[in-house]
Structure 1
Amino acid sequence: MQEEKLYEIWQTIKDEIFGDLDQQSQELWVSPVSFKGVKENTIILSVPNKYFSNWLITNNYIEKIQTMFAQHLGTPIEVTFEYQHELPTVQETEKIEYEYIPEKTFVLQETFNPEYTFENFITDESNRFAKAVCETAAKQPGTAYNPIFVYAPVGLGKTHLLHAVGNKMLELSKKFRIAYITADKFVSDYVSAIQKNTLDAFRSKFQNAVALLLDDVQFLIGKEKSQEEFFHIFNILFDNKKQIIITSDRKPHDLKGIEERIISRFEWGVIADIGRPSFELRLAILKHKAQKQRIYVPEDVLRYIAENITENIRRLEGAFINV
């Protein structure tokens, strides 16, 4: 049977099996699963990693997929997976025990921007998956997706998502201690800790957090000692099932100048990108801001702004403020 026909069958099966799921579940779990091909009597599905195959198996979707393919093809069918990103077994790494010094620790982010919430993060196909995985992680830190790596060009909402995670976690529990920090501040704080001989205090800030939200990891490029420190902190948090969310302006493998062992850890979990915003999304963002601020802006003015600022949400919002 032609592969094009098999792909059509897969689309039909997918719509029938997953059609009743809510939109977030569809975007989170179903959209990333794709038909890869067939070998003898085995259907090959491509999934990002083992989180997705485990979800399909534990929810009995694989049995349904096999049954429906068998009905369409008239022969028994097995399903196997091809992983886009392997989740390697955590190798034994040097265990470093950091002394917890309460009087020398402090909350890395006392308050998150109250405007940066999931409710205010307007979505379309370009950013919906990134929002969905971050929102799920905020509600189930360390268990749903870990780590999460979000990449996008400047000004498309990565920082908004990190603050939204922080706001949601604190909404669920004021006791959550969240380490939000930019990579360049991580480097400067690490250098300062070396100079002042306060490395234990520096490390305990992260070790005793429920979550690490690291913004703009590309600023670790070329900082070998800072990368080594981050590597050990990452391992400690991951081993203790603490939530880790990293943002970057590029894909993990494009982070030339960051150690391969760190890159591999970014690929253990979910990788989500934020694409260029469509005209419809840009217009929706402007309308949302006008509604929140209870001001009237003519439709043609909003459309003009949306048509002329196409690549950067931050600039788009800045233009709106200046209207």
Structure 2
Amino acid sequence: MAETQNLWSQILKEIKQQVEPQTFSTWFDKTEEFSLVNDTLTIKAPTKFFADWLDQHYKSFIEEIAYNLTAEKIVVDFIGSTNNAPNNYSFSKSSKFDVSLDTGLNPRYTFGRFVVGNNNHFAFSAAQAVADKPGKIYNPLFIYGGVGLGKTHLMQGVGNSIVNNKINKKVLYITTEDFTNEMISAIQTNSTINFRKKFRTFDILMIDDIHFLAGKEGSQEEFFHTFNTLYNAKKQIILTSDRPPKEIKQLQDRLISRFEWGLLADIKRPNYETRVAILRQKCDEEDITLKDEILEFIAENFDDNIRQLEGSLVKILAFSSYKNIKPHQIEVTDVKKILEDMMANRKRPVTLDLIQEEVAKYFEIGKNQIKEPTRKKEIAFPRQIAMYLSAKLIPHISLLEIANHYNKKDHTTIIHAKKIITQKLGKDQNLKSKINEITEAITK
């Protein structure tokens, strides 16, 4: 046990130097060594939920530190202790999910665990269609979007659906980095034939973060031929990226062209309702009860990606575990303090509600008055300004979404509002000053 304590304490020192203080206190302060057996270091976390989170997000990071310290390959496992958890704080559903060595798939990434909203419905439907008829529809399927929005989950959902339904298909999930590393290793060991045979015999090949091929001419050349072989054999190819093909710089035109042969499906940031649904699902999976106002508070303040939502939730659960109180006893005032550091440097997300609120405040009318079906100038004009600013400050949403927000039947009302305000701005410097003031209040 002394050896284990010594190794883990050394690892903790390295971790502390490489992560933010708040990150260290949240995730690592309450961890303990458990055992070191046959090069497997087992670490005990406060709860199973924490153990699962550490396994997903820090396992490879810690194993790399362990290797640097020992010059030996150490496998790090995490277990959770429920001894300190409140009675109703059950983690029975948070059992460890082992990645399959044969397919590279994480069994937690299924369609059933994927929360569908307006931001990802199209991509989800496409993924389901591909899972039902691999190689026959949407080939390749190219899923793109920002970090932490669920691209990997959706991609692997296809693979897990095929595996779980016992469809006789060879499936492989791999990151672009691992694909490139295997290719380099094959060149160094004169085993490129085996490398090509491996990747060109799968029925479903899923490659994550394909944008990392940018600037790597050798890897692009190899993948070009792998792509052609699989495509011509009607094998399914699924790719993810943080941007559409044409926006990936230093990528061969012939690859860009091929990536666009099938279907491009983007995943946007989740809206408020979807964010709440994601938080509710996570609580259900872990059998955790939190007040509705807490979930709503998180959803209102963290809109960039799903990882932020999960991170916020885990910090709250850490507080519950450390203070030995039941999650449902936590109040919003507690949560504001718990998440204070995460929110300190964060600007408010620009939303339709925020724009509506700030415009109403500026013109000294009630927030809900803007939506009233009246043509009175003191209401109608601020409403037109709110519509104009909505289209200007949130360009990724449709005019129809803005119209629905203001209880209008179609987008023509928004077009009219934009036209009216634009015309007035060209003549009225006072109005221009007012809109600048409102914009500053919204984006501060």
Q: Is TM > 0.5 for Structure 1 vs Structure 2? A: yes
Partner of 2:420: none
Q: CA deviation at 1:108?
A: 6.6
Task: State yes or no: 1:208 paired with 2:201.
Answer: yes
- The structure whose residues are more often helix, as a share, is 2
Does the CA-based 8 Å contact 1:108-1:205 persist in structure 2?
no
Residue of structure 2 in register with 1:162 after alignment: 155
Give structure 1 regions of 4+ aligned residues with deviation exceeding 6 angstroms: none
Q: Give per-residue Cα distances to partners, 1:261-304, cap 9 Å, x unaligned.
A: 00000111100000111011100100111112211111111111
* Matched letter for residue 278 of structure 2: I
Q: Does 1:218 align with 2:206?
A: no
Show the counterpart of 2:113. Answer: 120
Query: Where does residue 292 of structure 1 map in the other structure?
Result: 285
CA-CA distance at 1:224 after TM superposition: 0.2
SS of the residue corresponding to residue 111 of structure 2 reads: coil
1:265 alignment counterpart: 258
Deviation digits for residues 59-94 of structure 1 (CA, Å, limit 9, x no counterpart):
xxxxxxxxxxxxxxxxxxxxxxxxxxxxxxxxxxxx
Offset of residue 245 of structure 1: 0.6
Larger Rg: 2
Aligned residue-pair number:
217
2:183 maps to which residue?
A: 190
Secondary structure, counterpart of 1:238 in structure 2: helix
Report the residue type matching 2:268 in the other structure: G
1:225-266 Cα distance to aligned partner (Å, 9 max, x none): 100000000000000000001100001100010000000001
CA distance in 1, matches of 2:229, 2:121: 30
- Is 1:313 the counterpart of 2:313? The answer is no
* 8 A contact 2:110–2:153 mirrored in 1: yes
- Between the aligned partners of 2:104 and 2:183, the Cα distance in structure 1 is 22
Provide the C-alpha distance between the structure 2 equivalents of 1:114 and 1:306, rounded to a whole number of angstroms: 27
2:302 touches 2:309 (CA, 8 Å); kept in 1? yes
* Structure 2 residue aligned with 1:146: 139
User: Match of 2:95?
Assistant: none
Q: TM-score, normalised by structure 2?
A: 0.48
Whole-angstrom distance in 2 between the partners of 1:251 and 1:111? 25
| TM-score normalised according to structure 1 size | 0.65
Provide the C-alpha distance between the structure 2 equivalents of 1:190 and 1:159, rounded to a whole number of angstroms. 22
Q: Matches of 1:243 and 1:110 in 2, distance apart?
A: 15
**Using a 3 Å threshold, how does the CA distance of structure 1 residues 109 and 208 change in structure 2: closer, same or farther?**
same
Cα deviations by residue, 1:151-182 (Å, 9 ceiling, x for unpaired): 00110000101211111010122642112111
CA contact (8 A) 1:108 1:181 kept: no
Q: Structure 1 vs Structure 2: percent identity of aligned residues? A: 47
Find the counterpart in structure 2 of residue 36 from structure 1: none
Uncovered stretches (5+) of structure 2, i.e. residues with no partner: 1-99, 317-444
How many Å separate the matches in 2 of 1:253 and 1:174? 34
Residue 198 of structure 1 deviates from its aligned partner by 0.7
Deviation at 1:188, TM superposition (A): 0.9
Q: State the structure with bigger RCO (CA 8 A, min sep 6), 1 or 2.
A: 1
Distance 2:109 2:147 in 1: 16
1:241 aligns to what SS in structure 2?
coil
Moved more, 128-137 or 110-119: 110-119
